[in-house]
Each structure stands twice: as structure tokens, then as C-alpha cells.
Copies of this chain bind each other. A is one copy, B any other.
Amino acid sequence: MDGDVRDATTMMAEIGARAKAAANELAFAPAEARRAALLAAADAIDSRVGAIEAANAQDMEFGEAKALSPAMLDRLLLTPERIAAMAEGLRAVAAQPDPVGEVMAEWDRPNGLHIRRVRTPLGVVGVIYESRPNVTADAGGLCLKSGNAAILRGGSESFNSTIAIHACLVDGLRAAGLPEAAVQIAPTRSRAFVGAMLSAPEWIDVIVPRGGKGLVGLVQREARVPVFAHLEGICHVYVDAGADAAKARAVVLNAKTRRTGICGAAECLLIDRAILADLGATLVADLVAAGVEVRGDAELAALPGVVPAAADDFGHEFLDMIIAARVVDGVDGAIAHIRRYGSQHTDCIVTADDAAATRFFTRLDSAILIRNASTQFADGGEFGMGAEIGIATGKMHARGPVGAMQLTSFKYLVDGDGTIRA
């Protein structure tokens, strides 16, 4: 091991032990204390806007010196509005129902045993993220809400902002009498600490990576800890012969163009051959008119403004004003295409035909399947979860938007009366 790795491993063990101890306390801390900590942290953010702005100014200077792209610098920037939004986010999470201790199911056995299945925190959640410093408040808040200790490793470019926001979370914990180690941040900018987190199943129960494909792919490849993540959002919109034309036009345009950089943006349009000549052509014309580069298959490439698609345009996440488009033979053609090219994130059917919708809903296994609505609703806030720590496409434990509830596990509590087994 070189010195950086050894140092990172040592630091991880110290932070991990503190997180584990805090998690043991948090697991039985009353909901009211966790709520009070979130509200006090929100107040601390409001009262320290100046300090947070000053810390952020240091990061911006550092980022400009490193010649970060304008988009990166924008993600890094904390305005008074963005700081106020962090505080409001914490208050929104505080207002959500408390998941910990919820009795998920209970039943009696013929021998008199009463069995309860009760929701518990997972333990310690590691969050690894890139430039947006507000993730510190969002992720820290969701972990606290769900009774988990958090270890947050922000981007090295947002180091000072992260420290300033973290101080507000610690203020909140202190005000509520909860252990300060309930939310910790990485003590170093070294990349070696990321590696140490990924190799620490003894201290960390789950890792949530927030960022681009490079970061998520690294975490998925290297982690020896369970990971809640999605690598890509290759979202499809299939417009069926049974679609209402006005709804299809609204949904397709919104799914692609409302925001192109989010994981729920549509990346591929599938058009039922039966409506190619009329509604299909209109949908393509709408996209072209909106300034979208439509990369179509051989049939669609004949339409005005359409560029011929290359083979690798299907299954590609553009995150831009570009969409792949293809003609398919009905709902079964769409299902076959999505099984082959999809990323099990979010896929949509536009149709008034219940049988086609049911076929789409039962034969695909994306985390989110949508009928007659934009794929851009793939979001914990839009689902009513208050907030999300990320979106997961794995099948184990957490799927779709991951809110406080999905950061929990459970245990069985069994009550008897001297009951013995025959």
C-alpha cells in the first residue's frame, strides 16, 4: 500500500467506528429527536448563509483556477436562493412520515405467538458525489430521517462548501442531543478515500454514488459494499397505434425536451408501424421543430429533418437535444427493443388500449413503467417521497427513486407466553 492508501484506510476505520457507534444510538433515537435535528440544521443553514457563501467562493476560485467547464462551475455555485432551497429541503424531509419503527406487518400464529415485522435503519450509508455541494444537505438529511449514520464524500472541488454545510448539520444534531458522528464528511480530498469507502463492508452497509457515468461505473465495478445506483437512464417512449394523438405529442416532447440532462429524459422514441404515416410523422416533425436532432432508422430517415441513426445510437444515453427513433411492430416490437437496449430505469407507453398497456407493464421489468405520462416524472419528489437520495435500477432491496423508506431494513419481533416448540 502506498502512503495515501494506508492513510485513507486508517481514516476510514476511525470514521467507520464512529459512524457505527452513532448508528447504534440513532437506531433507537425517538423520531422527534431526528425531526428536531433536521429542523435545527435548516435553521443553522438559514443563519449562516454568509459563511456558506464565503466557503463556496473559495471553491469557485479553486474551480476557476482549475479551469472547470461553465456547466461544472454552475453546479458548484451556491447562490442565496440555492442555500435557502437546501434549508427548505431539510424541512420537507422533516415533515415526511417517520419510517423507523413502522410495523410493516403483524400476525398471530395458532400457538399464540404474535409476530411483527418492524422497520429498522440499514446502519451506515456512504454517499459519494461530485460537484453539487447541496447533496451534502439532501443526502445527510435523508440518512438522518431514516435513522442511518452517513459518511459523505463530496467532490474535491466542493470541499470548503461541504465543510460549511456539514457544520450546519452537526449544529442540528447537537441541538437535538444526537451524536455528532451521525453525519460525517470525508476528512481529505484524496481520491484514496473513495477506494477506502468502497472496500469497507465492515463499516458501511450501502454506498450511494451520485454523479456521472464515470463515477457510478467506478463504484459499481470496485465496491465490495452493496450499491444503490443506476448507471444510465436509457428511457424509451413507445407510441402505440392506440395512442391519443394530442397526449402522445405532449408526452413525447416533454419527455425529451423539458430537461435533457436528467436520467429520466427520453433517449429513444419507438413508433408503432401502424401510425407511422400520420401520428408518427407528426411526432418526429414536432421534435425537429423543437430543435431536437432525431436520429432515425431507415424508414424514419426518409422524413424531413431526420438524420440516419448509427447502430450505437440505440441504447445510448445522449443527455442532450438528440433522440434515437425507430419503427417497431406494435407493443411486442417495443418490448423486444426495450429488453435489448433498455437500462431498466424508466420506460413509457402512450396508448388508450388497455390490453397493450397491460402487456407493456407485465412483460417489461424496468424499475418504473409509465403509461400516458412523461418519463421526466422519474423522481422521488414527483413520486411524493419528499426527496430521493438517488434512483436505483438493481432488483435487490431498493428500486426506482430511493427515499428515506428504502434506506431501511427490518427485523421480526416475536411475543410469546412461555411458548415452546413441540
**Chain A interfacial positions (CB closer than 8 Å to B):** 24, 27-28, 101, 107, 109, 113, 115, 120, 122-123, 205-206, 226, 244, 246-248, 250-251, 253-255, 258, 339, 361-363, 365-374, 376-377, 382-384, 395-397, 399-400, 409-421
Q: Which of B101, B372, B395 contacts A409 (CB 8 A)?
A: B395
Q: Which of B115, B372, B400, B420 contacts A251 (CB 8 A)?
A: B420
Kindly state the separation between the CA atoms of A113 and B381 in the bound complex, as whole angstroms.
13
Kindly state the separation between the CA atoms of A113 and B384 in the bound complex, as whole angstroms.
11
Closest Cβ–Cβ distance, residue A72 to chain B (whole Å): 25
Closest to A415 in B: B371
Closest to A375 in B: B421
| Residue numbers in B under 8 Å from A409 (CB-CB) | 395-396, 399
Q: Please state if A416 and B373 are interface contacts (CB–CB under 8 Å).
A: yes
Known: A365-B27, A396-B226, A411-B368. A115 touches B246 (CB 8 A): no
Copies per complex of this chain = 2
Kindly state the separation between the CA atoms of A361 and B370 in the bound complex, as whole angstroms.
41
Q: Please state if B254 and A376 are interface contacts (CB–CB under 8 Å).
A: no
Known: A244-B418, A420-B254, A421-B382. A413 touches B361 (CB 8 A): yes
Kindly state the separation between the CA atoms of A339 and B416 in the bound complex, as whole angstroms.
23
| Residue numbers in B under 8 Å from A107 (CB-CB) | 384
Kindly state the separation between the CA atoms of A109 and B383 in the bound complex, as whole angstroms.
7
Closest to A344 in B: B411
Q: Please state if A374 and B28 are interface contacts (CB–CB under 8 Å).
A: no
| Residue numbers in B under 8 Å from A377 (CB-CB) | 113, 414, 416, 419, 421
Closest to A108 in B: B384
| Residue numbers in B under 8 Å from A399 (CB-CB) | 409-412
